[in-house]
Each structure stands twice: as C-alpha cells, then as structure tokens.
Amino acid sequence: MADKDAEKKETEADEKKTIEIDPAVVKQGVALIKKQGYITRKDIPEIQQDDWARALSEKISAAFHDADEAPYIYYERYDFADHEITGIIFNMDQIKTRAEAGNKLGQALGLKSFEH
C-alpha cells in the first residue's frame, strides 16, 4: 500500500513540474508563426520534446493574446512513413486543417507522409 501511495505522490509531483521556456524562444516562435504560420524542429529543435512543445505552444498563444491578437495556435505530432514522429506548432487561421499542417511539416522536414 505504501508503495502505491509513494508512486501516486511521485506521479503528481511530475505533473506539477513546470517547464521553463526562455522568453527569447517564445518571441522567436511568435515571429515564426507571423512569418510562415508554423514552427518545426528545423526552426526550434526542442520541439522534439512533446511536453516542451506543448508548453511552448501555450506560451506563444498567451503572447498573442497579451498583444490583443487571437490566432488559434495548435500543436500536433505526426507519425511519418519514414518512421519519424515529430511535431508542429501552427496557426489554424493560416493552416486550416490538421492534414494540411501534417503535409506542411513533411515538406519542411523532407519526410514521407503515409498519404503519398
């Protein structure tokens, strides 16, 4: 019983860990979204880390909202035919669908989609 309680506390502690992201990286992300509509690991390599990428997308969204802009910033991971799993942060006002975002990600990184 004590082991389960210890595991539960450890899991809760892990969930409460905050991910620190340099404000300069958030600023870079906002600029990339404005310029090209998306961010990949080619732009910011840390996007390969799923939790970090999710935190970055939230911070980018907050930065836009703080500036009275309201794009819909979305983060998604894709599994490519090359056996690569990678993600993209994108503005759904510019890239309208998740499928389009996956295609854009594949093109940006030279990866093969299952659809092609």
How many domains does the structure of the chain reveal? 1
Task: Domain of residue 32: give its range.
Answer: 23-109
Look up residue 4 and give its amino acid: K
Spatial distance between the Cα atoms of 93 and 73, rounded to a whole number of angstroms: 8
Asked if residue 116 is part of any domain, the answer here is no
d(CA 114, CA 107): 13
3-class SS of residue 110: coil
Question: What are the tens digits of pLDDT across the range 40-91?
Answer: 999 999 999 999 999 999 999 999 999 998 899 999 999 998 889 999 999 9
Asked if residues 78 and 102 have their Cβ atoms less than 8 Å apart, the reply is yes
Task: Answer whether residue 109 shows pLDDT above 90.
Answer: yes
116 pLDDT band (50/70/90 cuts)?
A: very low
* Sheet arrangement for strand 73-79: 38-39, 85-91, 73-79
Does residue 34 form part of some domain?
yes
